[in-house]
Structure 1
Amino acid sequence: MAISTKKLTLFYFFSLCVFLTACSSKHAGLVDIDTSKLLNDEAFPSYTNYPIETKKQIYALDNEMNDFVHSSLMHEQDPSKRARLLLKKLFHRSPEDLRYQNGANLTATQAFHQNTANCLSLTILAYSLANEADLTIKFQEVLIPEYWIREGSYNMLTGHVNLKVVGDSKSPFVVVWNGKETVIDFDPYSVKKHFPKNIISKNRVTAMFYNNKGAQALVRNEFDLAYAYFRASIKQEPDFSPVWGNLGLLYKRIGLQDYAEQSYLASVNYNYKNYNAWNNLAILVTEQERHEEATKIYSYIHKARMENPYYHGLLGDEAFYNGEYKLAINHYKKAKSMLGKEHEFYFGLAKSYYKLGNYKQSEYYLLKAKRYARFKDIEDKYQSKLNLLSRL
């Protein structure tokens, strides 16, 4: 059997959103799924007790936010300059700069006032403010490679979205200024790499928001709340592949194996390149001793992912989590050799060497991690660890 990660993984769009995964040919059991029969409300009797944010609430502005737009932005006539001014003002409107936080899945209003958010919530906030500022904008899905973060015993697959400014809703400005697009993006790395992009709907972004919230609830073992959010995501965008994969994981957690398998299959029906759902399906069929099916899935996933440095980083995270620090170092070094400016690979090496008692190497890689950090709060986190390490 090919090397594979056996930890359950779920789609968790802390940054902004992509979902790539696959099998070379259709799985032997892959058939058309009647998804209308896969929402099992009876299995989660308390799900209706939870107030789920409405679409209107997710994107709403309050009076202070409206004042911010009209006092800070509307004097600028050129929509391209107005968009850049929005980004500048948004990050520097208070003594403490806007902070990035993985798990902060917030509405636009919450993100504005808490001055912290993950990338999806920052994009939702920017969308709402830009809309009030008479900018015509579109959401873009950025097709980054599969990328994971760890949340306890889960590996969380992330993605990315940004905003493209295409004009001014109240003026004759056109889509392009001086031959260049105006993009609002909270991750400069994705902009520099020029990844492919797809225009996506507001409904799709809303489904992502609900899926994020459901994933967080699932990690906390709040199963009825998780179901409420996954259900809302499906109602918003029924063909959104990642949420079906997460729903399958939820069903598996409560022992509904048949529902879990059908949900995974629904997920890969909507996106046959959904390696994450295939991986969780392989785990399920392995537990059912359907080893031939599992082996085929694992082999293809491994082959498809070998060129992705973040996959090697994931294997490093798995090894580190299991206390196999020398193996983790090998995986992180492989990832680093493929993508030399990713701070998380260096941090993986730093913490692995620390566990082995090699503080000199740990400090060396922490300095590298700090050098390549893309957000100030992450850079500060590495500096605090360096400060602690210098006292040893």
Structure 2
Amino acid sequence: MTINIKLTVLFMVFSFSMLLSACSSHPEQATLVDIDTSNLLYDDAFPTHSNFSIETEKQIYALDDVMQKFVSSRLLHEEDPYKRARLLLKKLFHRSPEDLRYQNGANLTAQQAFHQNTANCLSLTILAYTLAKKANLKIEFQEVLIPEYWVRDGNYNLLTGHVNIKVVGNLKTTNTIVWGNKETVIDFDPYNVKKHFPKNLISKSRVTAMFYNNKGAQALVRSEYDLAYAYFKASIEQEPNFSPVWGNLGLLYKTVGLKGYGEQAYFASVNFNYKNYNAWNNLAILMSEQNRHEEAKQIYSFIHKARMKNPYYHALLGEEAYYNGDYKVAIEHYKKAKSMTDKEHEFYFGLAKSFYKLGNYKKSEFYLLKAKRYANFKDIEDKYQHKLNLLSRL
């Protein structure tokens, strides 16, 4: 199954029999049926969801005394906003001997990320925004338009996205300050290739919705369904047209047996983003489970064609093959991904672990060295070195 962790957000999609006409024989030309999303929140199915304490927006972006002291003592003495932005970037990544560590599932508030020294891209973006604002810097949120990218978590594939912030001026002046080509982007990305993709400006409200969606996704993976619903509902209330959360809500509904609601949520998801191929995919899964094989086949064909130019899709196929024990097939897919993007450490690691399973330790070591070479965070590099050390003992 595939979940969508957008900016480190979770997401899936289903279908509803009364809306079958929405899927023509050519999904790319389908006329989607409007969904009344106001009727798609089914509180009664999750009776304890209101018992959970969901972080408020204020709590997500709050600073404590230690953080305020960090800003006042290390940043505010610099009058030039461009230099202050660069100083923030430097201080943010070098606050301790360990530095910040990347952890995909670390969906944290600004305070938690600051003190735990761990973050995913969304959590660091929230932290950087909070500190930058306190440092009187004017900033913008950016969503990086990367191809679909998946990370496995148990029985789920998590579809991830990416965000960062751009410093554009000084809050203490009436005019935005632009430094020509000297823009400062604060980015926490363990995958360098993502930085070359186009970007869209997004609102703080959208980032908050992403935070709630991430938290809901994690709860869903842990089978904490009422908590997942509470977070998905919070995300929808924050940004009603955020496509990934509707897909995740659809998956939640399907998981608890509410397939009709699930399908409607999936259609809501693709209505808000027609190119949400993950939503289409999960819709096809639901149709297959309901023996609607021809409709599912048409959708599978549509999304497969759309994804063939995405190296991360080939890596996903490799990961699925590896997970199912088809190591030779996994190698074929990882090599295809590598041929399209040759500096992604995850592809080399996929090859290394597949060759290891086949008993070819020499090739496994070769690709582990490649993975280590392209890993651009010390903790990821250390992980590969540890595996190399173990491999050398065989």
Bucket of the pairwise TM-score, normalised by the shorter protein: over 0.9
Residue 11 of structure 1 is matched in structure 2 by 4
In structure 2, relative to structure 1, the CA distance for the partners of 1:14 and 1:205 (3 Å cut) is closer
Whether contact under 8 Å (2:114, 2:127) holds in the other structure is yes
Q: CA deviation at 1:96?
A: 2.1
Once the 2 structures are TM-superposed, how far is the Cα of residue 79 of structure 1 from its aligned partner?
1.2
SS in 2 for 1:24: helix
Written as runs of structure 1 = structure 2, the 5 A alignment for 1:116-135 is 116-135=118-137
Tell me the amino acid that sits aligned with residue 133 of structure 2. N
Deviation, 1:62, is 0.3
Secondary structure of the residue aligned to 1:336 is: helix
Q: Which residue of 2 aligns with 1:26?
A: 30
Whole-angstrom distance in 1 between the partners of 2:82 and 2:389: 42
Q: What are the superposed Cα offsets for residues 125-154 of structure 1, whole Å, 9 maximum, x if unpaired?
A: 000000000001110111011111000111
1:297 paired to 2:304 = no
CA contact 1:149–1:156 (8 Å) conserved in 2 = yes
> Structure 1 residue 183: deviation in Å?
1.3
Tell me, in whole angstroms, the C-alpha distance in 2 between the residues paired with 1:306 and 1:137: 36
- What whole-Å deviation, never above 9, does each CA across 1:64-101 have from its counterpart, x for those lacking one? 10000010001111111111111111121223211111
Write the deviation string for residues 199-240 of structure 1: whole angstroms up to 9, x where unpaired. 100000000000000000000000000000000000000000
Distance of 1:151 and 1:254 partners within structure 2: 20
Q: Structure 1 residues 47, 323: CA separation in 2 closer, same or farther (over 3 Å shift)?
A: same
Distance 1:308 1:199 in 2: 23
Identity %: 76
* Counterparts in 2 of 1:191 and 1:293: CA distance versus 1, 3 Å: closer
Query: Which of 314, 317, 321 is the matching residue for 2:316?
Result: 314
Letter in 1 for 2:205: N
Q: SS at 2:28's partner residue?
A: coil
Letter in 1 for 2:29: S
Equivalence for 1:75: 77
> How far apart, CA to CA, are the structure 2 residues paired with 1:240 and 1:16?
11
Q: 1:173, 1:16 → 2: CA distance?
A: 35
Aligned-partner Cα distance in 1 for 2:29–2:377: 40
What is the TM-score of this pair, normalised by structure 2? Answer: 0.93
| Residue 377 of structure 2 is aligned to residue 384 of structure 1 | no
Contact 1:370 1:382 in 2 (8 A): yes
Q: CA RMSD in A?
A: 1.8
Give me the whole-angstrom Cα distance separating, in 2, the residues matched to 1:150 and 1:18.
Answer: 13
Which residues in structure 2 correspond to 1:228-267 (within 5 Å)?
A: 228-267=230-269
SS of 1:86 mapped into structure 2: helix
Cα contact 1:333–1:349 (8 A) shared by 2: yes
Q: What TM-score comes out, normalization by structure 1 length?
A: 0.94
Q: CA deviation at 1:179?
A: 3.1
Cα distance, 1:174 vs structure 2: 3.7
Query: Structure 1's 16 and 265: CA in aligned 2 closer, same or farther, altered over 3 A?
Result: closer
SS in 1 for 2:162: strand
Partner of 2:21: none
- Counterpart residue identity of residue 316, structure 2: L
Q: Alpha-carbon deviation of 1:268?
A: 0.1
Q: Is the 8 A contact 1:44 1:223 kept in 2?
A: yes
CA distance in 2, matches of 1:44, 1:329: 43
Quick check: 1:61–1:128 contact (8 Å CA) kept in 2? yes
2: distance between equivalents of 1:127 and 1:110?
14
Structure 1 residues not aligned, in runs of 5+? 1-7
Contact persistence 1:9–1:156 (CA under 8 A):
yes
Comparing 155-164 and 175-184, the one that deviates more: 175-184
- Give the counterpart letter for 2:203 in structure 1: S
**Counterpart in the other structure of 1:275:** 277
